[in-house]
Amino acid sequence: MEEKTIKTALISVYHKDLLDEILQKMAELNITIISTGGTKEFIEESGYKVTAVEELTHYPSILGGRVKTLHPKIFGGILGRMNHSGDLKELEQYEIPPVDLVVVDLYPFEDTVKSGASEEDIIEKIDIGGIALIRAAAKNFNDVVVIPSRDHYGDLLKILTEGKGKTTLAERKRMALHAFNTTSHYDTGIFCYFNKDKEVNVFKQSVLQSKPLRYGENPHQRGTFYGAFNDLFHQLHGKEISYNNLLDIEAAVYLIDDFREKTFAILKHNNACGVASRPSLAEAWKDALAGDPVSAFGGILITNAEVDADTASEIDALFFEVIIAPAFEIKALDILKKKKNRIILLRKPVELPVVQFRSLLNGVIGQDRDIRTESKSDMKPVTVKVPTDAEYDDLVFANKIVKHTKSNTIVLAKNKQLIASGVGQTSRVDALKQALVKAKEFGFSVAGGVMASDAFFPFTDSVEIANEAGIKVVVQPGGSVRDNDSITFCDNHDMAMVFTGVRHFKH
C-alpha cells in the first residue's frame, strides 16, 4: 500500500530533551507508544500513556540494560509484511502487534570517544538494540517509517502535523535512506576506534555534514565540501566560501601554525607570496605585503595574532578574498566589514587532522600530514663556514615556508621576511631563477639573504647561481650522490650550507 497511517510507535532514544512536542502530537492522534528503560520513564513522567516492552515480551530488561528490545515480539512487529499472508498469520498466532513507526536516537559513541572516556565506558556506548531497530524498520520501509536520530525529529513532526500521522511510500523510503546513512556512519566510527592502530589496512571514512558549493575549481565543475567547517571557524562576515577559497584556507592554516612569533602571511593558489615575522602586527603585515604586492591582490590573509584597528586600516587598502585570525578588535572588524564580500574568519582552537587523503584514479591515497618542522638543532653544518645566529633564524624561517610551497620550490628570505620564491617548477634551477627575478622586480637585494630548497641539489648549478646573486647561506635536505660537489663549491666560495635530512616535497 502507498499510504500508511501510524497507529503504533516504538520509541527508544538516548537524548530525550526534544521529545515533548512529538509526544503531544502522538497523543492527539491516539498513537499507541511502546517503550522501555529511561525512554519509558521519561514518557510517563511527561504525562503520556506508554506500553512497556516488557509487557509485550513477558521478559525483563537483562544484563544491566544490554538486552531490552531484542525479542521476536518486538522485531516481528517491525519486520512483519502487511501484504504477506504468511506474515499476518504468524503475527496473529504469536500475538505480535504491528509497529508502524520506530524512533531511535543511538548511544553517543563518537562523543564518548572524543571525551577521553575509559575503554569500558566507550564499549558500553556501542548501541546494539537501537542499531537493530533502525535496520529492521528501514528494511521494512514498505510498512514502517523510521526516525533514526534526533536530527530527523523535524521530519517526524511534519508527518504528525501536516500529514496527520499518514506516510507515503516515498517518505518511508526516504527515511530508510537516512536510516542506513545513520547506521553505516555509526558502524564506521566503531570500526575506526578498534582499528586505530591500522591493523586492518582499509579505507573507511564517514562524514555526515556536507555543504554544496557554488561550483568546483572551475564554474563547469560541481563542488561539495564534506565536513564540519563551522567546528574550525566562525564566519564573521562576507560571501559564501568557494571551493578555491577552501583550498587556500587549508594551505594558510597549515603554514601559519608552524610559526610561534607574531606573523602575517599572504597566500595565492595555495602558495605563500608574502610572509613576515615582526614584533608588531602592523609591521608584519607591511613586510608580508612587500614580498609580492602584485600576487597579494585577491589573496588569502592569515595571522596568528589579534588583528588591531591600525593593522586593519592598512589591510583595508588591499582587495583580498579572505582574512583569518584568532581574534579581531571590534574597531578592526568595523573597518574590515566595509566591503560586503570580504570573508572574515575567526579561528577556533581545534586540533587539525594528522592524516591526509586524496582521491586518485579509481582509489584513494593517504599519508601522514607533514608536521615535521626543523629547528636550528636539526640543521647540520656541512661546510667550513657556519651560519651566524641571525642567519640560522632566517634559515628556520625560510625552511618553514619552503615546506608549505608547491614543488619544485626555492624560497629566499632575509630578516624573517619572504623576499621571493620560485614555485611549482619542473626543475629546481628554474625555481631559483624565478625567485631571483621576482626579488629584483620588487626591489629586494638578495645579498645577505638565505636560500631554502624543498629537496636536495643533484648538481652544483643551484648553489652556483645563488653565489653569483650574492646569497651565501643555504639550507637543503641533502641526500644526493653529488652532495660533496655542492659542499666543495660552497667551501671554495665562502658559503655556509646546512643539511636537515628531511625532504619537504609538496604536490
- Which residues form the catalytic set? 139, 269
Cα–Cα distance between 469 and 444 in angstroms, integer?
12
DSSP helix/strand/coil, 186: helix
- Burial label for 159, CB within 10 Å (0-12, 13-18, 19+), is buried
**Bridge partner residues of 367 (DSSP):** 356
Give CA separation, 387 vs 397, 410, 418, in Å: 14, 19, 18
Cα–Cα distance between 399 and 506 in angstroms, integer?
13
Nearest to 387 by CA among 400, 376, 398, 375: 376
* DSSP state letter for 125: T
Nearest to 300 by CA among 338, 352, 265: 265
Supply angle C-alpha 378, 446, 372, rounded to 5: 25
| CA atoms lying within 13 Å on the CB side of residue 212 | 3
Cα–Cα distance between 187 and 185 in angstroms, integer?
6
Q: Return the percent helix, strand and coil in the chain, to nearest 5.
A: 40, 20, 40
Scan for cell 502535523, then name that residue. Answer: 161
Question: Position 133: which residue type?
Answer: L
Cα–Cα distance between 483 and 475 in angstroms, integer?
13
Cα–Cα distance between 251 and 492 in angstroms, integer?
39
Residue 125 contacts residue 107 (beta carbons within 8 Å): yes
Nearest to 9 by CA among 18, 17, 25: 25
* DSSP state letter for 406: P
Cα–Cα distance between 395 and 416 in angstroms, integer?
9
Nearest to 486 by CA among 420, 409, 496, 425: 496
Residue 504 contacts residue 374 (beta carbons within 8 Å): no
Nearest to 500 by CA among 382, 344, 409, 419: 382
**Bridge partner residues of 166 (DSSP):** 5
Residue 304 contacts residue 324 (beta carbons within 8 Å): no
**Sheet of 299-303: strands edge to edge?**
233-237, 343-347, 320-325, 299-303, 263-268, 271-277
From the CB of residue 452, how many other CB atoms can be counted at a distance below 10 Å? 28
